[in-house]
A and B are shown apart, each in its own frame.
Chain A
Amino acid sequence: MSEPPGAAVSLAEAPPTADTPSKPFAAQRVLPLRRPGRWIATAVVLVLVAQFVHGLTTNSFYQWDRFGYWFLRPTILDGLLITLEVAAYSAVLGLLGGILLALARLSKSPVLRAVSWTYVWALRSIPLIVVLLFLYNFSALYKTLSVGVPFGPAFFSFDESKLATDMAVAVIGLSLNEAAYAAEVVRGGILSVDQGQHEAAAALGLPKSYQFTRIVFPQALRSITPNYVNQLIGLIKSTSLVFYVSLLDLFGTAQSMGSTYPGDIVPLLLVSTVWYLILTSVVSVIQFYVERYYARGATRSLPPTPLQKLRTGLRDLRERARREAAV
């Protein structure tokens, strides 16, 4: 170097010493901040998780061999089928009832509004188990059901003892309860649609039914979906109450098998737990894709599916590795 020592030198030419970097700052990666607290917390949680898993696998109390024996037994699967049937019928009927109740609540007729409000108020106040037991004993209260003019002639009548199978009682009870909650979910969804949408549909002269089914409701579904799925998961678990109206669902089967084989109560409860976990997981996966479908147009680009996330994640990782190698 031609300059005498001590003269000002540019950073780029400076020799690597303790306080002058070997490269210009702009070309360097910033050193990430160390976060020891985060590492400690992670370690503690990992230890706790390991203990839990260890206990779950090694504690003989759980009797995993008996779990394996029961998990796919036909009697358990029959119970599972009942659970699925009750849940599916009640989910559909409950949602339909909820839509009708929500429309009544939003109508201009004060009578419809009052009836809808009262229904929701009553059914949300009464515990589901009480509704089910009421219906179960219903045939004792009313021997026949008839359709006709109040206080006047009847057009049709049904013998109630034939109509009220255990399955019907369970589905009706759960649907009545579900409809009350679904009504509020649907009403909330409809209210979340911008008033301008109603006006634009009206200004174009779209028929009333088209306005609801094609313009308002599809937009409402975006906010209805997560709330209704929440409801649905609650419903799947509530189906365990149908045991009390002598319907042997998944939980009911596990319970009755447990009283026949008292030593197997814990593995049987585990069997039903795992099945409920599976059902909820399936519903959550479906929820993701339904929500994604109704997000069309609401967001500029759709949220990625797990597969797409994995792909972009791998690509990012590869690019990062390449950058690191280059630096």
Chain B
Amino acid sequence: MTAKTLERLTDIAPAAVEVHDVHKWYGTHRVLDGIDLTVRPGEVTVILGPSGSGKSTLLRVINHLEKPEIGYVSINGEPVGVKRQGDRLKELSERAILAQRGRIGFVFQNFNLFPHLTVLDNVAAAPVATGRLSRPEARELARELLGRVGLADRTGAYPRQLSGGQQQRVAIARALALRPGVILFDEPTSALDPELVGEVLAVIKDLATSGTTLVIVTHEIGFAREIADRVVFIDGGKIVEQGPPSEILDKPRHERTRDFLSKVL
């Protein structure tokens, strides 16, 4: 591995995420009802909440897979999917939105690896397609990242030949290949067999300690306690309370938080 690639790997500047008064509704159903959230660079934020509370939607609004009806998200002060024009917000072109997404990693609950590409090509595809790296450079980077998630020996395999835990680790390497300033995890271990959860959490923990900004939706309370700088509890499309895990998980102030924790713990 050359010094150049190494530099590229470690040169990830953690980004700040700001969610400004985001509202999102499907028909008459309000999924997000005025969310304000600030994530500092390098901070690990865990979002908890009952199902249907809007936590996955919030994550998808952050990288603009879902458009908010009101409000906007900014990464390092730059609005996502929109731009300021005078005192209005104007929708960006699809091309510009795609370019912004390169700075936001996203890891899905169901991995969503590309089944027709090898593990190596899954990871190398995005840097090549977006014109950031040449094919050989991207492959070198992909090998390095796969080594980091413990899959250096499976580069030639196809995703369906891997276990769920291995697939999710490939998905994390794929998200890392664009050197995102922030990585969003949407229930990354919910589709896994219990004995495979640990290997994925270990990779996420490794990222957390390396200073990347992470926003994680999960039901793993123990894991949240271990790595979160901040826990955000959402219910009914609103943030009920937020704070360090020692406060929210051990001394929740709100009845709804206590109720939720008593069910999942």
User: Interface on A for B, CB 8 Å cutoff?
Assistant: 194, 196-197, 199-208, 210, 214-215, 218-219, 294, 296-300
Contacts and interface: CB of A to CB of B under 8 A. Distances in A.
B161 A300 contact: yes
A268 B122 CA distance: 55
B98 A208 contact: yes
B72 interface: no
Interface stretch (B35-43, B109-117, B224-232): B109-117
Interface of B: 63, 65, 94-95, 98-102, 104, 106, 108, 110, 112-118, 125-126, 129-130, 158-161, 174-175, 178
Contact of A296 (B95, B158, B175): B158
A196 B112 contact: yes
A219 B100 contact: no
B94 A203 contact: no
A204 B126 contact: yes
B116 to A, nearest CB: 4
Contact of A204 (B95, B101, B117, B161): B101
B102 A205 contact: yes
A297 B116 contact: yes
A294 B159 CA distance: 15
A233 B102 CA distance: 44
A204 B102 contact: yes
A205 B98 contact: yes
A298 B65 contact: no
B112 A206 contact: no
Contact of A206 (B125, B159, B175): B125
11 contacts: A197-B114, A201-B114, A202-B65, A203-B65, A204-B106, A206-B130, A207-B95, A207-B130, A208-B94, A297-B116, A300-B160
B115 A203 contact: no
Given A197-B114, A203-B106, A300-B160, 16 more contacts: A199-B112, A200-B113, A203-B63, A203-B65, A204-B101, A204-B126, A204-B175, A205-B99, A205-B126, A206-B126, A219-B115, A296-B158, A297-B117, A298-B115, A298-B116, A300-B158
B125 A197 contact: no
A209 to B, nearest CB: 10
B175 to A, nearest CB: 8
Contact of A197 (B65, B102, B112): B112
A130 B110 CA distance: 50
Contact of A207 (B98, B100, B161): B98
Contacts of B175: 204
Of the candidates B65, B94, B100, B115, the one having the most CB atoms from chain A within 10 angstroms of its own CB is: B115
Contact of B108 (A200, A207, A208): A200
B178 A205 contact: yes
B110 A297 contact: no
Contacts of B104: 203
A297 B108 contact: no
